[in-house]
Amino acid sequence: MSLRVAVAAPFRQNGTSRLEESEFVVSLSLERGWFSPDQAKRLIDVATREGLIEHADDELVAAFDPTDVTVPEEFVPDEDLLRERSAFERVLDALVAEGMEKHEAVGAINALQGELGVTIEAAAVIYARREGIDVTELVPIAKAALTADEAG
Protein backbone atom coordinates (compact mmCIF):
# COMPACT_ATOMS: atom_id res chain seq x y z
CA MET A 1 0.00 0.00 0.00
CA SER A 2 1.56 3.27 -1.06
CA LEU A 3 0.34 5.21 2.00
CA ARG A 4 2.30 2.86 4.24
CA VAL A 5 5.36 3.24 1.98
CA ALA A 6 5.15 7.05 2.02
CA VAL A 7 4.79 7.08 5.80
CA ALA A 8 7.60 4.57 6.33
CA ALA A 9 10.11 6.47 4.18
CA PRO A 10 11.02 9.24 6.67
CA PHE A 11 11.31 6.75 9.54
CA ARG A 12 13.51 4.42 7.47
CA GLN A 13 15.62 7.32 6.23
CA ASN A 14 16.32 8.36 9.82
CA GLY A 15 16.70 4.82 11.14
CA THR A 16 14.03 5.20 13.80
CA SER A 17 10.36 4.65 14.53
CA ARG A 18 10.01 8.06 16.27
CA LEU A 19 10.41 11.47 14.64
CA GLU A 20 9.55 15.04 15.47
CA GLU A 21 6.80 16.28 13.17
CA SER A 22 9.18 18.83 11.64
CA GLU A 23 11.68 16.05 10.77
CA PHE A 24 8.91 14.04 9.13
CA VAL A 25 7.74 17.06 7.10
CA VAL A 26 11.29 18.01 6.03
CA SER A 27 11.98 14.45 4.94
CA LEU A 28 8.90 14.27 2.72
CA SER A 29 9.02 17.81 1.36
CA LEU A 30 12.57 19.10 1.19
CA GLU A 31 14.67 15.94 1.13
CA ARG A 32 12.47 13.73 -1.06
CA GLY A 33 10.45 16.43 -2.83
CA TRP A 34 7.32 14.31 -2.71
CA PHE A 35 4.99 16.86 -1.12
CA SER A 36 4.85 20.49 -0.12
CA PRO A 37 5.19 21.08 3.64
CA ASP A 38 1.40 21.60 3.90
CA GLN A 39 0.76 18.36 2.01
CA ALA A 40 3.21 16.51 4.27
CA LYS A 41 1.23 17.75 7.28
CA ARG A 42 -1.97 16.57 5.59
CA LEU A 43 -0.33 13.17 5.12
CA ILE A 44 0.31 13.07 8.87
CA ASP A 45 -3.41 13.68 9.47
CA VAL A 46 -4.47 10.95 7.03
CA ALA A 47 -1.90 8.47 8.39
CA THR A 48 -2.97 9.22 11.96
CA ARG A 49 -6.65 8.58 11.14
CA GLU A 50 -5.68 5.33 9.41
CA GLY A 51 -3.71 4.17 12.43
CA LEU A 52 -0.25 4.28 10.83
CA ILE A 53 1.09 7.09 13.01
CA GLU A 54 0.49 7.91 16.66
CA HIS A 55 1.33 11.09 18.51
CA ALA A 56 3.43 10.63 21.64
CA ASP A 57 4.74 13.65 23.50
CA ASP A 58 6.05 15.93 20.76
CA GLU A 59 6.87 13.12 18.37
CA LEU A 60 5.28 11.01 15.68
CA VAL A 61 5.56 7.29 16.30
CA ALA A 62 5.13 4.69 13.59
CA ALA A 63 2.37 2.27 14.61
CA PHE A 64 4.04 -0.41 12.47
CA ASP A 65 7.63 -1.50 11.93
CA PRO A 66 9.02 0.79 9.19
CA THR A 67 11.85 -1.68 8.54
CA ASP A 68 9.23 -4.17 7.30
CA VAL A 69 8.33 -1.78 4.45
CA THR A 70 10.35 -1.57 1.26
CA VAL A 71 10.62 1.89 -0.30
CA PRO A 72 11.53 1.33 -3.96
CA GLU A 73 14.02 3.86 -5.37
CA GLU A 74 11.61 4.85 -8.13
CA PHE A 75 8.66 5.21 -5.74
CA VAL A 76 6.82 8.53 -5.87
CA PRO A 77 3.55 8.72 -3.92
CA ASP A 78 0.42 9.91 -5.62
CA GLU A 79 -1.38 12.98 -4.23
CA ASP A 80 -4.48 10.77 -3.86
CA LEU A 81 -2.90 9.62 -0.60
CA LEU A 82 -3.84 12.99 0.85
CA ARG A 83 -7.57 12.40 0.54
CA GLU A 84 -9.65 10.55 3.06
CA ARG A 85 -10.32 7.00 1.90
CA SER A 86 -13.61 5.23 2.41
CA ALA A 87 -13.89 2.14 4.57
CA PHE A 88 -14.36 0.14 1.37
CA GLU A 89 -11.07 1.42 -0.07
CA ARG A 90 -9.25 0.71 3.19
CA VAL A 91 -10.60 -2.85 3.38
CA LEU A 92 -9.74 -3.39 -0.27
CA ASP A 93 -6.17 -2.24 0.39
CA ALA A 94 -5.94 -4.67 3.32
CA LEU A 95 -7.18 -7.55 1.15
CA VAL A 96 -4.70 -6.73 -1.62
CA ALA A 97 -1.88 -6.42 0.93
CA GLU A 98 -2.70 -9.98 2.01
CA GLY A 99 -2.19 -11.19 -1.57
CA MET A 100 -5.71 -11.14 -2.98
CA GLU A 101 -6.20 -9.85 -6.51
CA LYS A 102 -8.01 -6.51 -6.45
CA HIS A 103 -10.61 -7.47 -9.09
CA GLU A 104 -11.39 -10.73 -7.26
CA ALA A 105 -11.87 -8.90 -3.96
CA VAL A 106 -14.14 -6.29 -5.55
CA GLY A 107 -16.22 -9.01 -7.23
CA ALA A 108 -16.58 -10.99 -4.01
CA ILE A 109 -17.53 -7.89 -2.01
CA ASN A 110 -20.09 -6.82 -4.64
CA ALA A 111 -21.61 -10.32 -4.63
CA LEU A 112 -21.81 -10.31 -0.83
CA GLN A 113 -23.39 -6.86 -0.88
CA GLY A 114 -26.09 -8.09 -3.25
CA GLU A 115 -26.63 -11.26 -1.24
CA LEU A 116 -26.95 -9.48 2.12
CA GLY A 117 -28.54 -6.23 0.95
CA VAL A 118 -26.08 -4.05 2.92
CA THR A 119 -23.84 -1.10 2.08
CA ILE A 120 -20.55 -1.68 0.26
CA GLU A 121 -18.65 -0.73 3.42
CA ALA A 122 -20.50 -3.31 5.52
CA ALA A 123 -20.05 -5.99 2.86
CA ALA A 124 -16.32 -5.22 2.64
CA VAL A 125 -15.85 -5.50 6.41
CA ILE A 126 -17.83 -8.76 6.56
CA TYR A 127 -15.89 -10.22 3.65
CA ALA A 128 -12.51 -9.26 5.13
CA ARG A 129 -13.41 -10.78 8.48
CA ARG A 130 -14.53 -13.99 6.75
CA GLU A 131 -11.12 -14.05 5.06
CA GLY A 132 -9.42 -13.73 8.45
CA ILE A 133 -8.22 -10.15 7.97
CA ASP A 134 -8.40 -7.88 11.00
CA VAL A 135 -10.35 -4.75 10.07
CA THR A 136 -11.68 -4.09 13.57
CA GLU A 137 -10.97 -0.35 13.31
CA LEU A 138 -13.37 -0.14 10.33
CA VAL A 139 -16.33 -1.85 11.99
CA PRO A 140 -17.70 1.42 13.49
CA ILE A 141 -17.50 3.09 10.07
CA ALA A 142 -19.39 0.21 8.45
CA LYS A 143 -22.02 0.29 11.23
CA ALA A 144 -22.43 4.04 10.78
CA ALA A 145 -22.93 3.54 7.06
CA LEU A 146 -25.61 0.95 7.80
CA THR A 147 -27.55 3.23 10.10
CA ALA A 148 -27.19 6.20 7.73
CA ASP A 149 -28.46 3.98 4.91
CA GLU A 150 -31.45 2.87 7.01
CA ALA A 151 -32.28 6.47 7.99
CA GLY A 152 -32.11 7.65 4.37
57-83 pLDDT, tens digit each = 889 999 999 999 898 888 899 888 887
Predicted TM-score (pTM) of this structure = 0.64
C-beta of residue 46 within 8 angstroms of C-beta of residue 2: no
The pLDDT, as a whole number, for residue 115 is 94
- Tally of CB atoms within 10 A around 29: 18
Does residue 52 surpass a pLDDT of 80? Answer: yes
pLDDT in tens, 2-25: 888 999 999 999 999 999 999 999
Nearest to 4 by CA among 33, 43, 30, 56: 43
Q: Distance (Å, rounded) from C-alpha 84 to C-alpha 54?
A: 17
